[in-house]
Amino acid sequence: MLRIRRAEAADLDGIRRIFNDSPKDADEMAAWWSEHDQRFAVLVADDASGPIAGWAALNPYSHRCAYRGVADLSVYVARDVRGTGVGSALLGALERHAKGHEFHKIVLFTFSGNAIGQGLYRKFGYREVGVFREQGILDDAFMDVMAMEKILKPAVLFVCRHNTGRSQMAEAYLRCFLGDRVDVASAGTIAADVPDPGVVAVMAEDGIDIGAARPKLLDAGVAQRADRIITMGCDVEGVARIDEDWGLPDPKGQPVGVVRAIRDLTKTKVRALVEDLNLR
């Protein structure tokens, strides 16, 4: 089973093995290691029984204090396990670490032809800033390098069975309260087609239209990126971790007065979450 953990000095040979841009000797790796500490973390992925499958690091972007909130990103995955989710697991864990250590932004530089890596970064919300012409050297030839960036925000995922009621309300309220200061999503573990009509109606009473929302199946990548995974009060399967359960009653098939009460309780819990996130 894949696990993500803090790297140790004993992992340096494995990290050097996976480095694929140019050969690194032991002295170079020791110098690189010395630049990393509790804040500038190095994480590795392994299964506790074999060599590490990949690693990711937050590197100093600049030693000037004005850029203290910016980190440079490295992600490397062993060739034989690419495409198996190792990169996503590492990047999700590293972003959660960055948010917990006062980083505001992550930047990265990738060869323009690295479509697989760019696909991973875009999936996690990184945007292209621009391309440096003939910036790096690969196989003795100058290569264009793309710069990408991401502003770090709390990422919250609400999960219930069908994503038709409670989780839709929670997502809508958090988006209403915090706007683009938070990445918020909701999902279900069982497919459904449309939100519960009773829930749509009582949300409209409160001035929020979720009639056009569509239930979504839980996506492992979204869950990996989430800082908080909150379930609504029902048993769900396939969720890697659950940080909190709100214990809300199911509004499906309930009288309108009961649905209103569930809506109001959801709103109260979301307001408390907003205070906990401390973004106001």
**Per-residue pLDDT at 26:** 82
Of 174 and 279, the structure prediction assigns the larger pLDDT to 174
Dihedral over Cα of 245, 248, 252, 253: its sign: positive
Instruction: Answer yes or no: CATH 3.40.50.2300 is held by domain 155-277.
Output: yes
Q: Which CATH number fits domain 3-151: 3.90.850.10, 3.40.30.10, 3.40.630.30, 3.40.50.2000?
A: 3.40.630.30
Lowest mean pLDDT among 19-23, 33-37, 72-76: 19-23
**Per-residue pLDDT at 182:** 94
What would the 3-class secondary structure string for the chain be?
CCEEEECCHHHHHHHHHHCCCCCCCHHHHHHHHHCCCCCCCEEEEECCCCCCCEEEEEEECCCCHHHCCEEEEEEEECHHHCCCCHHHHHHHHHHHHHHCCCCCEEEEEEECCCHHHHHHHHHCCCEEEEEEEEEEEECCEEEEEEEEEEECCCEEEEEECCCCCHHHHHHHHHHHHHHHHCEEEEEECCCCCCCCHHHHHHHHHCCCCCCCCCCCECCHHHHHHCCEEEECCCCCCCCCCCCEECCCCCCCCCCHHHHHHHHHHHHHHHHHHHHHHCCC
Segment 88-95 mean pLDDT: 93
- The pLDDT of residue 20 is above 80: no
**Per-residue pLDDT at 254:** 97
- Which has the closest alpha carbon to 177: 247, 273, 243, 261? 273
pLDDT confidence tier of residue 22, bands split at 50, 70 and 90: low
The predicted-structure confidence for 222-243, as pLDDT tens digits, reads as follows 888 899 999 999 888 888 789 9
- The pLDDT of residue 79 is above 60: yes
**Per-residue pLDDT at 221:** 81
Segment 192-219 mean pLDDT: 96
Segment 151-160 mean pLDDT: 95
- Check if the beta carbon of residue 186 is closer than 8 Å to that of residue 216: yes
Residues 6+ apart with CB under 8 A from 276: none
Q: Which residue has the tokens 């749509």?
A: 200
**Per-residue pLDDT at 235:** 85
Segment 58-83 mean pLDDT: 93
Average pLDDT, the chain: 92
Percent of the chain at pLDDT exceeding 70 = 98
- What ranges do the domains of the chain cover? 3-151, 155-277
- The pLDDT of residue 280 is above 80: no
**Per-residue pLDDT at 48:** 77
pLDDT confidence tier of residue 21, bands split at 50, 70 and 90: low
Instruction: Please state the pTM of the whole predicted model.
Output: 0.76
Phi, psi of 186, deg, nearest 5:
-135, 155
Q: What are the residues facing 23 on neighbouring strands? A: none
CA atoms within 13 A on the CB side of 157: 24
**Residue 126, CA distances (Å) to 118, 145, 205 in order:** 9, 15, 37
